[in-house]
Amino acid sequence: MDANDLKSILNSSDNIVFFGGAGVSTESNIPDFRSASGLYNERLKSTYTPEEILSHDFFIEHTEEFYDFYRSKMIYKHAKPNGAHIALAKLEKAGKLKAVITQNIDGLHQMAGSKNVLELHGSIHRNYCMKCGQFYDLDFVIESGKIPLCNKCKGIVKPDVVLYQESLNAKILEDSVNYILNSDVFIIGGTSLSVYPSAGLVNYYKGNKLILINKTKTPFDNKANYVYYGNIGELFNKIIG
């Protein structure tokens, strides 16, 4: 598949759904997880792996160490939307794209102007007191002490992100499935499709315009109607600009 093929498909459809992963944001200088230079292959000073640190049990039992890692490795406050985010927002504004389903927690889709964003893994921009539910923004977490504590009740403030051992939001998952089931064109970009249950969403698509855009091969390449290996931002810049 080349850029002109994809452009033709997008021009002829007004029922597109996009599902993206960490690779969508790497061109905004946010590291991914599983590539050779990704977060999970980085050598940490900690004796724990990133997967262990980003688990519910670790957050509860080692909250201060969790926040050390979270602030330094998971928050990129000054990141800006790249060509992929901007192109998707343009497609939605034109009435072609019905939903963005994302595994990312960085909020860049909304920053680019996308309105209907389903965040499977939550967002760094939402944080809640575990005791009273008081909402806090990202700056509060960044600027607070070693462990962010609620101003009202002194409970621990937790990011609204899905950690290992935690379930995805059932409503967001259900809405994602419905958008995919009803879509004409389903574009998957910047994801290795190796994390479940998110990767299983591919199986809900029943059409014949499944488009996979990723730097490397995925387990679902043979199921796709169109496959493109490369940077998703660069590709979208060519066809949507």
Average pLDDT, the chain: 91
**Confidence check: pLDDT of 197 > 90:** no
Q: Determine the average pLDDT of the residues in 193-212.
A: 90
Average pLDDT over every residue of 114-138:
97
Q: H helices of 119-199, where?
A: 138-143, 170-181
**95, 97, 103, 128: which is closest to 25 by C-alpha?**
103
DSSP strand pairing (117-119 vs 97-102): parallel
In the chain the domains, ranked by start, together with CATH numbers, are 1-29+81-121+168-241 (3.40.50.1220)
Judge contact between 138 and 157, C-beta under 8 A: no
Q: Is 132 exposed, middle or buried (0-12, 13-18, 19+ CB in 10 A)?
A: exposed
Identify which of 147, 162, 163 has the alpha carbon closest to the alpha carbon of residue 67. Answer: 147
Structure tokens at 22: 């960490």
CB atoms within 10 A of CB 177: 16
For residue 43, which phi and psi values (nearest 5 degrees)?
Answer: -80, 125
- pLDDT range class, residue 137, cuts 50, 70, 90: very high
**How many C-beta atoms lie closer than 10 Å to residue 238's C-beta?**
15
Q: Does the structure show a pLDDT above 70 at 179?
A: yes
Q: Which of 56, 62, 78, 121 is catalytic?
A: 121
Question: Which structure tokens are listed for 158?
Answer: 């937790």
pLDDT top residue among 12 and 198: 12
Distance CA 8, CA 42 (A): 40
pLDDT tens-digit series, residues 74-96: 999 999 999 999 999 999 999 99
Q: What is the pLDDT of residue 240?
A: 82
Q: Give pLDDT tens digits for 29-67.
A: 998 765 444 454 455 566 888 889 999 999 999 999 999
Active site residue 62: no
219/239 Cα distance (integer angstroms) = 26
Largest alpha-carbon pair distance within the chain? 57
In this structure, which amino acid lies at residue 239? I
Residue with tokens 């590291």: 31
The residue-averaged pLDDT of 219-240 equals 90
Tell me the mean pLDDT in the region 185-191.
Answer: 95
User: How much is the pLDDT for 45?
Assistant: 62
